[in-house]
Structure 1
Amino acid sequence: MEQIKLLKSEIRRLERNQEESAANVEHLKNVLLQFIFLKPGSERESLLPVINMMLQLSPEEKGKLAAVAQGG
């Protein structure tokens, strides 16, 4: 009985994690689409911290993305 409770608890935890992951992917998709369709400049640049955080970009990748945001 104890093992059943433990397994049910683990299933609920995994389901919550899956829901959170799906929400994060949806948010990332929306941010990236917004970045792609905005004109280069400050609006695009304002999305850089969000993209950097979500994708955990390296310093080199951050630099490349910043150049794209500025239109380069």
Structure 2
Amino acid sequence: MTIHFQSDSQNTGPGFTANYYEVSANKNTQCGGKLDDDSGTFTSPNYPRSYPNNAKCTWYIFVDSDERIQIIFIDIQ
């Protein structure tokens, strides 16, 4: 994991504080992944039922360098 902080040259502020901790992989819901088709669908775990506690999902969406990505959320609750 990499955390990157970068400020601009205009304003300063108090910054931030953060906590981190190791979490066993078998205690989290596994979801997310690599999306590299021209279009597709991805959902939260168990959708349309409730997602579980402590779910952490990351999707990596890849397109050609001369393309852009548009995401349209159909339902958010």
TM-score using structure 1 length: 0.21
Tell which structure's C-alpha radius of gyration is larger: 1
TM-score using structure 2 length: 0.20
More strand by share: 2
More helix by share: 1
